[in-house]
């Protein structure tokens, strides 16, 4: 397996024209169905929407809408255990916050059409859905891979296969490259800044590229009295 640094160099060397060609050949037009923003059916019932968001994207969304940290993001659920006091343990990275139904907190629906209430400030994973780049160390959005062209993978979405303009394909390609680079930079940062901790009962610790944090985004210090849930 290639090192994260090697994959990062590959991401930085991606040809956006080639990515745009791939996107154009697959085709895409958003139908505003909202499927990519909603909870999904899982083996154990509804699974909350999970979309990775970078620390600086969280701050950008906070600034854009005067939101509290927890209005925007929640700990990535993978690796956490559910106890009497709620989730606990260690996890890596952040996910966009969800509402009581498990849908993205920024998703709104009217007359059967979905809309993003922070569209201009939405994270890169939302800007690039339903596409990803086939590089190790990068994340895949929700949905199985159903098509591919060159380095580009397309994930389940009813908007695939529709005509897309060259300008829109180029915009998506630029965002795809930026996301691949950012994901790998974040992965390197997480690795380099990781310090093992021992969360207490009911404590959640999130490791991101800026270090260990509590669920409210504040730096984690063992034994402090912050609200960890």
What is the mean predicted confidence (pLDDT) over 46-53? 91
What is the mean predicted confidence (pLDDT) over 31-45? 84
User: What's residue 44's pLDDT?
Assistant: 67
Above 60 in pLDDT, residue 227?
no
Strand-pair category, 73-75 with 94-96:
antiparallel
- The residue to which tokens 């199985």 are assigned: 144
pTM: 0.90
What is the mean predicted confidence (pLDDT) over 171-176? 98
User: What's residue 185's pLDDT?
Assistant: 97
Do the beta carbons of residue 56 and residue 49 sit within 8 Å? no
Between residues 117 and 46, the one the model is more confident about: 117
Q: What are the residue boundaries of the structural domains of the chain, listed by start? A: 4-213
Above 90 in pLDDT, residue 125?
yes
Between residues 124 and 199, the one the model is more confident about: 124
Above 60 in pLDDT, residue 228?
no
DSSP per-residue codes, 173-228: HHHHHHHHHHHHHHHHHHHHH-------TT-EEEEETTEEE-TTSSBP-TT-----
Between residues 210 and 140, the one the model is more confident about: 210
What pLDDT digit, counting tens, does each position of 71-109 carry? 999 999 998 998 887 889 999 999 999 999 999 999 999
What is the C-alpha separation between 97 and 102, in angstroms, rounded?
Answer: 9
Above 80 in pLDDT, residue 229?
no
Q: Token pair for residue 98? A: 């969800």
């Amino acid at each position: 397996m290639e090192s994260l640094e090697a994959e990062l160099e590959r991401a930085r060397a991606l040809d956006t024209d080639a990515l745009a060609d791939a996107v154009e050949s697959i085709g895409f037009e958003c139908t505003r169905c909202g499927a990519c923003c909603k909870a999904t059916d899982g083996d154990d019932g509804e699974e909350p929407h999970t979309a990775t968001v970078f620390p600086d994207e969280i701050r950008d969304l906070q600034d854009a809408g005067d939101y509290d940290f927890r209005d925007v993001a929640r700990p990535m659920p993978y690796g956490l255990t559910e106890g009497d006091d709620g989730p606990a343990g260690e996890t890596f990275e952040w996910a966009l916050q969800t509402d009581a139904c498990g849908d993205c907190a920024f998703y709104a629906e009217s007359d059967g059409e979905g809309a993003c209430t922070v569209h201009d400030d939405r994270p890169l994973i939302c800007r690039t859905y339903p596409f990803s780049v086939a590089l190790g160390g990068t994340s895949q959005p929700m949905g199985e891979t159903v098509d591919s062209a060159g380095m580009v993978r397309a994930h389940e979405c009813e908007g695939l296969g529709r005509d897309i303009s060259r300008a829109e394909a180029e915009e998506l390609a630029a965002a795809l490259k930026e996301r691949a680079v950012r994901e790998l930079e974040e992965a390197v940062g997480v690795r380099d800044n990781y310090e093992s901790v021992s969360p207490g009962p009911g404590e959640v610790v999130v490791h991101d590229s800026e270090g260990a944090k509590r669920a409210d985004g504040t730096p984690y210090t063992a034994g402090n009295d912050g609200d960890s849930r």
